[in-house]
Amino acid sequence: MEDPNDSFAEEIAAVKEDLENNDTAAAAAKIREYLDKQNNVPLNIAITGESGAGKSTFINAFRGLSDDDEGAAPTGVTECTMVVKEYPHPNYPNVTFWDLPGIGTTKFPADKYLKLVEFEKFDFFIIISDTRFRENDVKLAQEIQKMEKKFYFVRSKIDNDIRAERRKRDFSQERTLSKMRENCIGGLQEQGIKSPQVFLVSSFELHLYDFSLLHETLEIDLPAQQRDALLRAMPNINLEIINKKKKAFQSKIKYWATLSAAAAGAPVPGLSICMDLSMMVNVAIDYVVGFGLNKPSLQKLSATSGVPYTELLNVLKSPLAAAKITPELLLKLLSQLTSTVALMALEEGSRLIPLIGIPLAAGLSFTTTYRALKYFLTELADDAQRVFKRALGLNTSV
């Protein structure tokens, strides 16, 4: 897999050459092409297992949807998935979850399963069971292994098991989870799976149990670009995920700032500021959606957590959160940052300087955009942490 950092270095070298030749349009086009590629890396996740194991509910939870939301995978007590069905992530359609029919059904016998579901298009498989993993699960894992694909076992509906065990006088959640994990691993080893990776998950409480460990494992196993695609699609299950998203967004700021510098290289007064505002609107929207701070995401969080929507709004500090983001709103926020306003004015004025004016404007535009986006990102990341803590009833100080 190509190293994204090497790719970016090559792109920047080409951009610098275009800028030196005063070809700002070509420079901007190269940067946009690179960013588009980075943001649209395909990731195809196959969810499979025997019928009734909770595959569809798991897909819905991963996509931030309830089972009764529009576009959710249908769920039920009987086998709902009779065909291979794709479910793109609602915010990141390059990440697609594939709800596969239960292995061992009449239409999809175990020995022909992988061929029938066209296994080659999937990046990895998650095999789900709500009890113990059975013979068909093991057969599927062995076939996937032969095809040199990654697979992971997920023991679902853990919340039901924990509730049942709580009735016992000597109940210990840690001991119960450890025993369940050992039983799953031991059963799979007895059936010939070496070093099986088993994760205990509740689709209704992703912040509990092993879902975060599953994500950490996928981070290690996936190539860098697909790792970023997965992170963007991840629900905010813990503060670490929010911090990782912040770092991922921050790593792209230099790209947007370089794009701003390319626009500033055009000898047209006011053009850079107009393009910067338009670009920053899109980036800010991406931040808000990525952190789950848009209105629909906050309303869903309110419904699932039981915390009133107004209480979630009360912990927000950034004017961008839960708002309609427009160039006018960003300009108003930027006007409150004295250093940024000064840089924007200096950028426009520098264009009048012979010979060095345009290069100077480009450098100032880079700095202005970088500072502004970093400010927006920091404010929104802090809001995401406060909202997460409030939803769990924790202290909302960051």
Tell whether 183 and 308 lie within a shared domain: no
Does residue 269 fall inside a structural domain? yes
Tell whether 266 and 333 lie within a shared domain: yes
Tell whether 222 and 271 lie within a shared domain: no
Residue 325 has a pLDDT of 95
- How many domains would you assign to the chain? 2
Tell whether 225 and 257 lie within a shared domain: no
**Looking up tokens 């108003």, which residue turns up?**
332
Residue 32 has a pLDDT of 83
Residue 273 has a pLDDT of 60
Residue 248 has a pLDDT of 94
Residue 70 has a pLDDT of 87
SS (H, E, C) the chain: CCCHHHHHHHHHHHHHHHHHCCCHHHHHHHHHHHHHHHHCCCEEEEEEECCCCCHHHHHHHHCCCCCCCCCCCCCCCCCCCCCCEEEECCCCCCEEEEECCCCCCCCCCHHHHHHHCCHHHCCEEEEEECCCCCHHHHHHHHHHHHCCCEEEEEECCHHHHHHHHCCCCCCCHHHHHHHHHHHHHHHHHHCCCCCCCEEECCCCCCCCCCHHHHHHHHHHHCCHHHHHHHHHHCCCCCHHHHHHHHHHHHHHHHHHHHHHHHHHCCCCCCHHHHHHHHHHHHHHHHHHHHCCCCHHHHHHHHHHHCCCHHHHHHCCCCCCCCCCCCHHHHHHHHHCCHHHHHHHHHHHHHCCCCCCHHHHHHHHHHHHHHHHHHHHHHHHHHHHHHHHHHHCCCCCCC
Tell whether 189 and 242 lie within a shared domain: no
Could you say which of 233, 249, 284 is where a domain stops? 233
- pLDDT tens for each residue of the chain, 398 residues long: 444 445 555 666 665 666 556 566 676 777 788 888 888 999 999 998 877 888 989 999 999 888 888 888 888 655 555 688 999 999 999 999 999 887 766 677 777 778 888 888 999 999 999 988 988 889 889 888 888 889 999 999 999 999 998 988 888 999 999 999 999 999 999 998 988 999 999 999 999 999 999 999 999 999 988 999 999 999 999 999 999 999 999 999 988 888 887 765 544 444 446 567 888 899 999 999 999 999 999 999 998 899 999 999 999 999 999 999 998 898 888 887 755 544 454 444 444 444 444 444 565 778 888 888 999 999 999 999 999 999 998 777 76
Tell whether 319 and 377 lie within a shared domain: yes
Does residue 137 fall inside a structural domain? yes
Tell whether 141 and 71 lie within a shared domain: yes
Tell whether 329 and 206 lie within a shared domain: no
Tell whether 210 and 253 lie within a shared domain: no
CATH number at residue 64: 3.40.50.300
By residue range, what is the domain housing residue 117? 43-233
Residue 335 has a pLDDT of 80
Tell whether 59 and 86 lie within a shared domain: yes
Could you say which of 187, 212, 233 is where a domain stops? 233
Does residue 28 fall inside a structural domain? no
Tell whether 158 and 301 lie within a shared domain: no
Does residue 13 fall inside a structural domain? no
Neighbours of 250 (CB within 10 A): 14
Residue 59 has a pLDDT of 94
Does residue 31 fall inside a structural domain? no
Could you say which of 181, 208, 233 is where a domain stops? 233
Angstrom CA distances, 19 to 22, 24, 28, 264, 358, stand at 5, 6, 9, 10, 10
Does residue 25 fall inside a structural domain? no
Tell whether 247 and 211 lie within a shared domain: no
Does residue 116 fall inside a structural domain? yes
Does residue 203 fall inside a structural domain? yes
